[in-house]
Structure 1
């Protein structure tokens, strides 16, 4: 097992789809030899009021504080949020960002229409044109990067979880290549991080998101700030498949990965 394990994308049961408390996640981190992790519970800006995300996030922040006091230095626990669709709903995003001083803010796109997450799209429906969905998704990602109120871009390539991972519809590796290139260049120019999300390795996709070719291109463009995120919604998935992700980073030219403290990157050697 690799050393210096820090998971920058973890959900507690304060996310609607999370399973375990912050305390239990800390206990599991100790058991698994994980040095630290960020609790990044969901805040879906398009349905923030309807789904009571402010209440959920306030509870998450409170529980993180309690766990930090309890576990001290045995687990390096940081305070985060996964802020989705923030560029489209800036008032809701400001509401979330104003609740506390975060260590890390993940920027995500989960929905292309209000209240209609990509996870619920039927890609077998003849009316759903996969190429159009992907174009809309990458345009939304680019628009969010230009908006810029986050630290790390989460799971770039997210729709593939469902298009291939669930429906087994092939996606061309160079799909939307020009838009992906523009996103990577803008991240680098703005000093933002790029997440390597390992969810796909345990959920039918067979690869992390973004995939190897994107990570290699990001590195060749001069990108240095990569975080590792399990996207765990269960304690058993904390830091899942990080050995594979770290080996992949080494293969494409990285020697360090990043976690965030007080919204500043901290570099860790891949060991």
Structure 2
């Protein structure tokens, strides 16, 4: 069993260091884990949520050498403003990680958890703005490997009284998935949704089914765990569901190079 998205002290809100998270993964008999802490680059540099990537990568490598039972790889979950693509590219010229997950947590500079994003808007408008942000990011930026938790917007639907049928916005989802396939990227299936109101992974089954029908093959599975008990959460059940849809492989990245591995 693999987990492509585990966080540590390098992420705000996580109280556990990398080694403690790795030990928990070993206890769960996980054979490969990516430490993928959140790394955000903002137009206003003082608002960055960043850390020393050299130190981070070296700490992961140190722990990887210490434990034979598991392979530990380096990743980041990237949030980035469009104006900062060049700054991030320059940074990546000087430091190597194994995988980059591109995630959308805000639209037009406003976080999805902020009620300002939802005020005085119809539900369809909210969804269109969110998915347009994702589509434009994928079209204009290439320095990533995986698109993270694609339909995270659903996490907030009860808080802001949103409920929209998939058919109402499936066209833009189709455009996003085609772009991901065209650029040969992966999508993350993120099991943190089981801890939220949606009680399912991100993205939903309808999106995964569409992705497969469009020819999408590259997927990774991540828990987004910030506590040891959440590592690998529901992954066995999820793999069974993915096989039913038609997926047979996950995509392992080492030094940003993808390798297809059968479940």
State the TM-score, normalized to the length of structure 2. 0.91
Shift of 1:228: 0.3
How is 1:25-104 mapped onto 2 (pairs within 5 angstroms)?
25-46=21-42, 49-51=45-47, 53-55=49-51, 57-71=53-67, 73-104=68-99
Partner Cα separation in structure 2 for residue 128 and residue 177 of structure 1: 19
1:162 corresponds in structure 2 to 156
Cα pair 1:154 1:194 within 8 Å, conserved: yes
Segments of 5+ residues of structure 2 without an aligned counterpart are: none
2:16 corresponds in structure 1 to 20
Question: Is 2:121 the partner of 1:111?
Answer: no
Give the root-mean-square deviation of aligned CA atoms: 2.1
SS of the counterpart of 2:113? Answer: helix
Cα pair 1:106 1:152 within 8 Å, conserved: yes
SS of the counterpart of 1:89? Answer: helix
Partner Cα separation in structure 1 for residue 46 and residue 8 of structure 2: 20
Partner Cα separation in structure 1 for residue 4 and residue 219 of structure 2: 10
Shift of 1:27: 0.3
2:143 corresponds in structure 1 to 149
- Pick which of 91-100 and 13-22 moved more: 91-100
SS of the counterpart of 2:12? Answer: coil
1:130 paired residue among 123, 138, 148: 123
* Paired residues, number: 262
Q: Deviations over 1:149-188 (max 9, x none)?
A: 2101111111111224x55632322342111101111111
Partner Cα separation in structure 2 for residue 24 and residue 128 of structure 1: 43
Consecutive aligned runs of 4 or more in structure 1 exceeding 6 Å deviation: none
1:223 corresponds in structure 2 to 216
2:164 paired residue among 163, 171, 174: 171
Residues 163 and 248 (structure 1 numbering): CA distance in 2 closer, same or farther, change over 3 Å? same
Segments of 5+ residues of structure 1 without an aligned counterpart are: none
Shift of 1:12: 0.9
State the TM-score, normalized to the length of structure 1. 0.88
Residues 175 and 241 (structure 1 numbering): CA distance in 2 closer, same or farther, change over 3 Å? farther
1:9 paired residue among 5, 10, 13: 5
Cα pair 2:40 2:50 within 8 Å, conserved: no
Residues 79 and 137 (structure 1 numbering): CA distance in 2 closer, same or farther, change over 3 Å? same
Shift of 1:210: 1.0
Shift of 1:130: 3.0
Cα pair 1:34 1:239 within 8 Å, conserved: yes
SS of the counterpart of 2:152? Answer: coil
2:197 corresponds in structure 1 to 204
Question: Is 2:242 the partner of 1:249?
Answer: yes
Partner Cα separation in structure 2 for residue 150 and residue 182 of structure 1: 18
Shift of 1:192: 0.6
